[in-house]
Chains A and B, each alone.
Chain A
Amino acid sequence: MSEAALILALGRQQRNLELLAQLLRSEYEVEIARSMDEFDEFIDHRDDIALAILDVDGFTEDIWKRCRQLHERSTPMLVLAASIPPAMREAALSHGVHTLLEKPVDKADLKASIRGLVKYIDGAGASRFDRGSGSDTD
């Protein structure tokens, strides 16, 4: 990709978001949202989000609705939580979340997961493009 992929990070703790942005800004464009409203506004105005990182601690079940929306837009999601009980894992996966990581997360693990997800989207995009080209030629 010629331009840095856009990552949208949602979380209640300012410091968490700062640290996340600090870690990722060398490779990606990072935007942060501290509330659901900010998050909603952002996804309404940007359709180029490559990945959403959702630090779900402190949010209500409404978060899964946003996951559904993002899933429908084919935006991959990575969920972070201090504890991931089976019910949460099930809810997250059923709403299209790709990866769940328990905090504190190892920086190297997080970066690898993000790279993997972004590559997956690139690959998926390429496939879609390939398929589209194919249909054009058909």
Chain B
Amino acid sequence: MTTGSLDRISTGSEGLDTILHGGLITERSYLIRGDPGTGKTILGMQYLTARIDEGETSLFVNIEETEDDIRRNASTLGIDLDDVHFLDLSPSSDVFAEDQSYDIFAPNEVEQDPITSRITKEVEKLSPDRVFIDPLTKLRHLSPDEYQFRKQVISLTRFLKEAGSTVLFTSQNTERDPDDDLQYITDGTIDLRNTPDARVLTVPKFRGSPTLSGQHAVRIAPGRGMAIYPELRPKQHDREFPSETISSGVTEVDDLLCGGLERGTVTVISGPTGVGKTTAGSLFMKEAARRGERSVIYMFEESKATFFERSESIGIPVKEMVDEGSLDVQEVEPLEQSAVEFANNVQQDVQERETDIVMIDGINGYELSLRDHEQEEVVRKVHRLCRYLTNMGVTVILVDEIQNVTGEFKATETGVSYLADNILFLRHLELSGEMRKAIGVLKKRTSDFERTLREFNISSHGVEVGEPLTGLRGLLTGKPEWANGASDHDQLGVVSEGDR
């Protein structure tokens, strides 16, 4: 058994251990709070089995659910409780079938002593490293008053600590019997909550140690138990990277950007549907692949197959890039994960594999697809993710679709423009009755940029970008007019990227 008051013990969840800065402090007691169905028992089961293979002894004190039911549920979740000791204090069916009801004495006079003495005996017999009591609030019904209940809980937790056990217990918080009092008694509280869109974990109290604040994501899946994803803390991640500009591979685009995008910055590429935002972002990835760098695209709106087909048809060899490992395209299933889970997956990928560019395509899909889609939250979570990525030297491209095809100019509609170091925008233009496209830079935080737009064209030859459109006015309205007698022919000469 581990000793020493500041030794740590794993919770059985890597994510929760990270949130708690290494796990629970040994020989202390912790409360898991939450409504029914939030995963309290699952967390407890994972806690009990965390180090059982290393010879630790675990004791599950089940006061309501039967041992058989618990074992069955655990097995569907992929949790093996074979080596966990059980002290089954749940009521047996005999109580109902064999007229075991009584009213002569109050329940606390009849049942409390047997329960506490059985716990005491079992703990003395096993000397468990880990104890999980589910639910401890049952003792409330066996106590004559609140004072006695608190006294019982304090005595029990003290006894378990003195026996060298680290204790997790659950509570049932009801309107009639609120469990607030237990928070004062224990060394820490882990709160589990189901919001309409996601499962959430917070740690409001943890005596003797800092924790990661925030609303952390929880996922419970058959066969995989409970996974906890800590909310990203960008400040805790940092990596040295060269301060340099990365090229798009298209001279005219680089000219617009005065050389390209700076490594470790966030670029929003905005524009209406079909204007070529994803393609514009892919240019930087194609060029990164040439340099032997790795990029990842998270596709929220388009399917992988469509993206592959479209990119190949315009000369961006995405299949080859994927095959050689310079590009990873991940389709994000709608409503499959929360924003925190997504950020964790991105973080894990960046930590495990050297990544230079991450493109999120697009922000609208991100907002709709991820389960917690309140706009303010989305922007805050995108912000954190971007901060993390840029701290790690990753260049971030956010594809942001605006609704207006032409008309009044808007840089973005999702409120992410403040996150951007650079804003590259694309527009549809109607010129002499013909639909054309233009690209321009609205913002570049780290260097100067070209103030004029250029024609942007996508063909089977690739991306073609023209000279600066200096002879037109009203470009941002979508209905430009020639100024000073300049002609279409004079101004809209384009250069093919494929011709270079």
A residues lining the B interface (CB < 8 Å): 11, 13-16, 19-20, 55, 57, 80, 82, 103-107
> B residues within 8 A CB of A82?
103
B435 interfacial contact with A, CB 8 Å: no
- A103–B100 CA distance with the chains assembled, in angstroms: 16
Contact between chains at B103 and A107 (CB < 8 Å) = no
B105 interfacial contact with A, CB 8 Å: yes
B residues lining the A interface (CB < 8 Å): 98-106, 109-110
Contact between chains at B99 and A107 (CB < 8 Å) = no
Contact between chains at A107 and B105 (CB < 8 Å) = yes
In the assembled complex, 6 residue pairs joining A and B whose CB atoms fall closer than 8 Å, in A order, are A15-B100, A19-B102, A103-B103, A104-B109, A105-B105, A106-B106
Contact between chains at B99 and A13 (CB < 8 Å) = yes
- A11–B104 CA distance with the chains assembled, in angstroms: 10
From A11, A19, A57, give the contact of B105 (CB < 8 A): A19
Contact between chains at B109 and A55 (CB < 8 Å) = no
> A residues within 8 A CB of B110?
19
- Give the residue name and chain of the A residue nearest to B108 (CB): A104
Contact between chains at B106 and A15 (CB < 8 Å) = no
- With most chain A CB atoms within 10 A of its CB, the pick from B99, B101, B104 is B104
> B residues within 8 A CB of A57?
103
Knowing that A80-B104, A104-B106 touch, tell me 13 more A-B residue pairs with CB under 8 angstroms: A11-B104, A13-B101, A13-B102, A13-B104, A14-B98, A15-B102, A16-B102, A16-B103, A19-B110, A82-B103, A103-B103, A104-B109, A107-B105
A54 to chain B, nearest CB (A): 12
B245 to chain A, nearest CB (A): 82
> B residues within 8 A CB of A103?
103-105
- A106–B109 CA distance with the chains assembled, in angstroms: 8
Contact between chains at B104 and A19 (CB < 8 Å) = yes
- Give the residue name and chain of the B residue nearest to A14 (CB): B99
Contact between chains at A16 and B104 (CB < 8 Å) = yes
Contact between chains at B103 and A13 (CB < 8 Å) = yes
B301 to chain A, nearest CB (A): 65
The 9 closest A-B pairs by CB, nearest first: A15-B102, A16-B104, A104-B106, A16-B102, A15-B100, A103-B103, A14-B99, A104-B105, A107-B109
- A80–B103 CA distance with the chains assembled, in angstroms: 10
Contact between chains at B99 and A55 (CB < 8 Å) = no
- Give the residue name and chain of the A residue nearest to B102 (CB): A15
B148 to chain A, nearest CB (A): 13
- Give the residue name and chain of the B residue nearest to A11 (CB): B104
- Give the residue name and chain of the A residue nearest to B105 (CB): A104
Contact between chains at A15 and B105 (CB < 8 Å) = no
- With most chain A CB atoms within 10 A of its CB, the pick from B100, B105, B106 is B105
B260 to chain A, nearest CB (A): 82
- Give the residue name and chain of the B residue nearest to A20 (CB): B104
- Give the residue name and chain of the B residue nearest to A104 (CB): B106
> A residues within 8 A CB of B98?
14
- Give the residue name and chain of the B residue nearest to A12 (CB): B99
From B100, B101, B104, give the contact of A55 (CB < 8 A): B104
> B residues within 8 A CB of A19?
102, 104-105, 110
From B99, B100, B101, B103, give the contact of A104 (CB < 8 A): B103
A49 to chain B, nearest CB (A): 20
- A57–B102 CA distance with the chains assembled, in angstroms: 12
> A residues within 8 A CB of B103?
13, 16, 57, 82, 103-104
> B residues within 8 A CB of A16?
102-104
- A14–B94 CA distance with the chains assembled, in angstroms: 13
B346 to chain A, nearest CB (A): 60
- Give the residue name and chain of the A residue nearest to B144 (CB): A106
- Give the residue name and chain of the B residue nearest to A107 (CB): B109
- Give the residue name and chain of the B residue nearest to A23 (CB): B105
- A82–B99 CA distance with the chains assembled, in angstroms: 17
- A55–B103 CA distance with the chains assembled, in angstroms: 10
> B residues within 8 A CB of A55?
104
B92 to chain A, nearest CB (A): 13
> A residues within 8 A CB of B105?
19, 103-107
- A60–B220 CA distance with the chains assembled, in angstroms: 57
B68 to chain A, nearest CB (A): 24
A99 to chain B, nearest CB (A): 15
- A10–B105 CA distance with the chains assembled, in angstroms: 16
> B residues within 8 A CB of A107?
105, 109
- Give the residue name and chain of the A residue nearest to B109 (CB): A107
- Give the residue name and chain of the B residue nearest to A9 (CB): B104
> A residues within 8 A CB of B104?
11, 13, 16, 19-20, 55, 80, 103-105
- Give the residue name and chain of the A residue nearest to B103 (CB): A103
B450 to chain A, nearest CB (A): 87
